[in-house]
Amino acid sequence: MACEAGLEMIRELRQAQQLPPYRAESIQTVLVAIEGQFRAVEQGVLALRERAEAGQRRPPAYIGGRLLIQRAQMLREKRYVLAYLMNRLWRIERACWERDASLHPGGTAATASGDSGRTALLSAQEREYAERYQALLGWYGGAVGMGLLEELHVPPKDWLVEVRVRQDCGSVVMASTGETVRLAAGTMHFVARSDVELLIQSGKLEHVPPSRMDGCDR
């Protein structure tokens, strides 16, 4: 029963695209099985030790084999639990970086019960971990003068792009720097993509991919 519960938890995580609800009952089932297996192994080892100290003849080989099998079962169940919990923590950390509203602290995804989505998905310990992890990101970002979740969410190569002005746009203030740039037709500029995204989408600017920059006359 415990083996099936452990396997089912792992299968669910492997198949789920999003983090599934925390399976407290399955975890408890496996933990109870681990404790029972540990007690069985402990008692078996003590019995063998007492037998040896009493000078009794060596017990049948199957007794030692049974203890080894019980120990292997216990370690297997332990790996199920650790793999399940570590995978969930990894997904929670990723959700904090990606600002997933259903998981990271402050999420607003609602359930039928009225609780937040992350409350329905995470255990109490996982919620505390997510809150502390989020606070750590904020503290470190403040210490180094960077908004980690804002500035590192997009790969650095996408921060700045080379653009060619197809239609005169006049003088445009770059929100990221506060500088004013004259976007005259035919000129090229190296700017933050977020500052000119709308102009690129409207066709007034053309994004020049890196492969096309090498041979252009600036």
Reported as a single tens digit per residue, the pLDDT across 54-92 is 777 676 666 777 888 888 888 888 988 999 999 999 889
3-26 pLDDT per residue, tens: 678 888 888 888 887 888 898 888
Sorting pLDDT into bands at 50, 70 and 90, what band is 102?
A: low
**Helix H or strand E segment including 173:** strand 170-173
Domain 2-144, CATH class in plain words:
mainly alpha
pLDDT class of 187 with cuts at 50, 70, 90: very high
Of residues 24 and 51, the one with the higher pLDDT is: 24
Structure confidence at residue 42 as a pLDDT band (50, 70, 90): confident
Domain boundaries, the chain: 2-144, 156-213
Location of structure tokens 């995978």: 87
Q: What angle do the packed helices 2-15 and 24-53 form, to 10 degrees?
A: 140
pLDDT value at position 112?
30
Contact 101, 107 (CB under 8 A): yes
Mean pLDDT of 159-188: 87
94: pLDDT confidence band, cut at 50, 70 and 90? confident
Is the pLDDT score of 169 beyond 50? Answer: yes
Residue 212 has pLDDT above 50, yes or no: no
Domain 156-213 has CATH 3.40.5.60: yes
List helix spans (H) across the chain: 2-15, 24-53, 61-98, 117-121, 124-144, 148-151, 193-202, 210-213
Give me the pLDDT at residue 149, please.
Answer: 67
Helix (H) or strand (E) holding 191: strand 188-192
